Amino acid sequence: MKEQKVIISHDLQAELREAIDEVGPDRLFVLTDEKTREACWPVISDFGCIRGCGADGHLLPRGEACVMSIGVSDEAKNLDSLASVWKTLSQGGATRHSMLVNLGGGMVTDLGGFAASTFKRGIAYVNIPTTLLAMVDASVGGKTGINFLGLKNEIGVFNPARAVVLDTQFLRTLDTQNVRSGYAEMLKHGLISEESNLAELLRFDLDRPDYDQLKELVAKSVAIKEHIVAEDPYEKGIRKALNLGHTVGHAFESLALAEGRPVLHGYAVAWGLVCELYLSVVRCGFPTTWLRQVSRFIFETYGRFAFDCRVYDRLYELMTHDKKNVAGVINFTLLGAVGDIHINQSASKEEILEMLDFYREG
């Protein structure tokens, strides 16, 4: 997989202009969601290299950009939205030498990356993540995709952006829930790295965030993910560490969506971390002191996902669709200690149901 350039931004205009100039596209397109277009597009729309125009299907003069928007929620990460992006690229005269700039959260970078990766067998794209979740997770590492048949990220490819430009000024536009959603992935990175990193994350005041400190924490978090992705770009081995919390988290997320009460991805991951740390205690000897500290932080910060034992079988069935599974066996990433990663771990159905009991009652 091609190396991905990740830039912790100090001058967004200059860094984006440089990323575009390195490709020298014949046509430039920008994908946003409806909220991002209003809150974040003005930050980059004054660039000499980007002048916005309507996506009305005409051929675009060089130097202008076609700006298109899709829906805001994760429900918009679907085939219809993907087709609308492909259609705009085609009608706007995109060629294999064109470029797409994805400006938005993880839904935009996931779908936009997949659209760019598949249009005319692949055009260049750049990610400018505007949410904490996208900065530390979705936009970095080359995963792209859409949801399909109610399953998260069921269709997609590995294909890294030419550059990912992280500018934490956008975090000031986020509400508390979206900051916390992204922070869950940072907790995951702390758990798979070192105790000092995890302890620092558990001390951070999310109610009154220090944005300068948060920028430093984001840089550390991205570095952890970059190191793992460099070792295993196609998720054959150690990259599965990044799935800690996600086997159960995706099941919670899919169930919530099916029941018409969608939850933010990071909240589902946080709840999944509690469950999978419990399994880590049972299967790998993870210290109960860390389980208690992390669980307390998560329940105080994210609340609890409400469900009862009548949906246990449904949650179990959703876990069987996880992409890490082999031959129908549910695969978890578990920990023996902070930073002691155990990939490809299985658990019996009885243990999984006990895990759900612990989550609800612990």
Provide mean pLDDT across the span 237-250: 95
Provide mean pLDDT across the span 93-101: 95
Q: Do residues 54 and 125 both lie within one domain?
A: yes
Q: Do residues 116 and 227 both lie within one domain?
A: no
**Residue 71, CA distances (Å) to 80, 182, 237, 241, 361 in order:** 11, 20, 35, 31, 37
Scan for tokens 């959703």, then name that residue. Answer: 318
Q: Do residues 350 and 272 both lie within one domain?
A: yes
CATH number of the domain encompassing residue 322: 1.20.1090.10
Token pair of 316, please? 């179990």
Q: Do residues 312 and 200 both lie within one domain?
A: yes
Q: Please give the Cα distance from 179 to 173 (Å, whole number).
A: 10
Asked if pLDDT for residue 59 goes beyond 80, the answer is: no
Q: Do residues 152 and 213 both lie within one domain?
A: no
Q: Do residues 147 and 48 both lie within one domain?
A: yes
Range of the domain at 342: 194-361
Asked if pLDDT for residue 324 goes beyond 90, the answer is: no
Asked if pLDDT for residue 60 goes beyond 60, the answer is: no
Residue-level pLDDT at 51:
43
Look at the chain and report how many structural domains it folds into. 2
Asked if pLDDT for residue 352 goes beyond 90, the answer is: yes
Residue-level pLDDT at 63:
53
What percent of the chain is predicted at pLDDT more than 90? Answer: 75
Asked if pLDDT for residue 216 goes beyond 60, the answer is: yes
Q: Do residues 349 and 249 both lie within one domain?
A: yes
Asked if pLDDT for residue 279 goes beyond 50, the answer is: yes
| Average predicted confidence (pLDDT) for the chain | 91
Residue-level pLDDT at 326:
80
Asked if the structure places residue 27 within a domain, the reply is yes
Question: Which of 280, 294, 270, 271 has its CA nearest to residue 337?
Answer: 280
Q: Write down which residue in 173, 203, 229 finishes a domain.
A: 173
User: Is residue 62 very low, low, confident or very high in pLDDT (cuts 50, 70, 90)?
Assistant: very low
Q: Please give the Cα distance from 109 to 52 (Å, whole number).
A: 19
Residue-level pLDDT at 52:
41
Residue-level pLDDT at 39:
85
Q: Please give the Cα distance from 215 to 104 (Å, whole number).
A: 18
Give, in degrees to the nearest 5, the angle at Cα 315 between 310 and 319.
160
More confident residue, 324 or 192: 192
Q: Do residues 153 and 206 both lie within one domain?
A: no
CATH number of the domain encompassing residue 95: 3.40.50.1970
Q: Do residues 162 and 204 both lie within one domain?
A: no
Q: Do residues 164 and 205 both lie within one domain?
A: no
Scan for tokens 């956008």, then name that residue. Answer: 170
User: Is residue 40 very low, low, confident or very high in pLDDT (cuts 50, 70, 90)?
Assistant: confident
Residue 111 CB neighbours (<10 A): 27
